[in-house]
Amino acid sequence: MALPLMQKATAVWLVDNTTLTFRQISEFCGLHELEVTGIADGEVAIGIKGFDPIANNQLTAEEIKRCEADPKANLKLMYNPAAEGETKRKGPRYTPLSKRQDRPAAIAWLVKFHPELADSQIAKLVGTTKPTILTIRERTHWNINNIQPVDPVALGLTKQVELDAAVAKAAAKAARDGTAVDDSERMKLVSTEQSLAMEDEPRMPSNIAGFETFSLSGSDGEEEGDALDADSLFNLPSSSDDEDDQPET
């Protein structure tokens, strides 16, 4: 249901200038009936000046009189041709000032890991413009050397559900057009379940091969398992040798 402009101010005017019931005013203004009661009691909307819906072409005097005569009737907002399609208008997402500096990093992440996304989809996800996306794609952005790709979901610029939906839509379109991106040509993020089910990757050879199997074994052909004692390991003289070296008195 369409609501009038300045709902509380309109409710203040209707309470002060009509005999409409609180239910009728609350239904028309999109407020709770107790809130309208608070306006009438002077406890809510203190200091708000009434907004005349008749003067602003939102109601007619005849419509108000009709509803005053019938408490069960509901007010109907006047049709405004200029507002046709306003609720369907979609534009770039609003990004708070505190997060706008993170948009280049999010764009770089989307361009790198999801090249199938169109510029219009990226603009909608992170609330940016196509020229900005183009400069990051072509690496002509003024701060390109300092931009590090960061997941926009982690930055709080979009939701994971919205990102997944955009990626699925772009992948379906690419499959229809025959321009799908081969997974082997790019890094692909997988879910936790898929990651745990994958086989272990081979490890890189170590530069210190042999030390990982080091054991306290003799170096002169001694069998493994014959552990050296501390004295022989550090070449410490035994207590008996010390007694032999002492001069006789």
Is residue 112 a contact partner of residue 144, using CB atoms and an 8 Å limit? no
pLDDT tens per residue across span 7-23: 899 999 999 999 999 99
User: Which pTM was predicted?
Assistant: 0.42
Name the band, by pLDDT with cuts 50, 70 and 90, for residue 224: very low
Joined tokens for residue 162: 């919205």
Helix (H, G, I), strand (E, B) or coil at 122: helix
pLDDT reading at 176 higher than 90: no
The tokens describing 241, both together, are 């040798």
Q: Are 117 and 172 in contact (CB under 8 A)?
A: no
Which residue's entry shows tokens 């509901």?
74
Burial class (CB in 10 A: 0-12, 13-18, 19+), 28: buried
Confidence of residue 57 (pLDDT cuts 50, 70, 90): confident
66-71 contacts at long range (C-beta below 8 A, 24 or more positions apart): 67/20, 67/24, 68/18, 68/19, 68/20, 71/21, 71/23, 71/24
> What is the Cα–Cα distance from 12 to 29, expressed in whole angstroms?
10
Structure tokens at 187: 């890094």
CB atoms closer than 10 angstroms to residue 44: 18
Q: What would the pLDDT profile of 181-218 be if each residue is shown by its tens digit?
A: 555 444 445 545 555 666 665 555 545 445 444 444 44
Question: Residue 174: its pLDDT value, please?
Answer: 82
Mean pLDDT throughout 147-154? 91
**Distances from the Cα of 18 to the Cα of 34, 52, 66, angstroms:** 18, 11, 12
Backbone angles phi, psi at 237, to 5 degrees: -70, 145
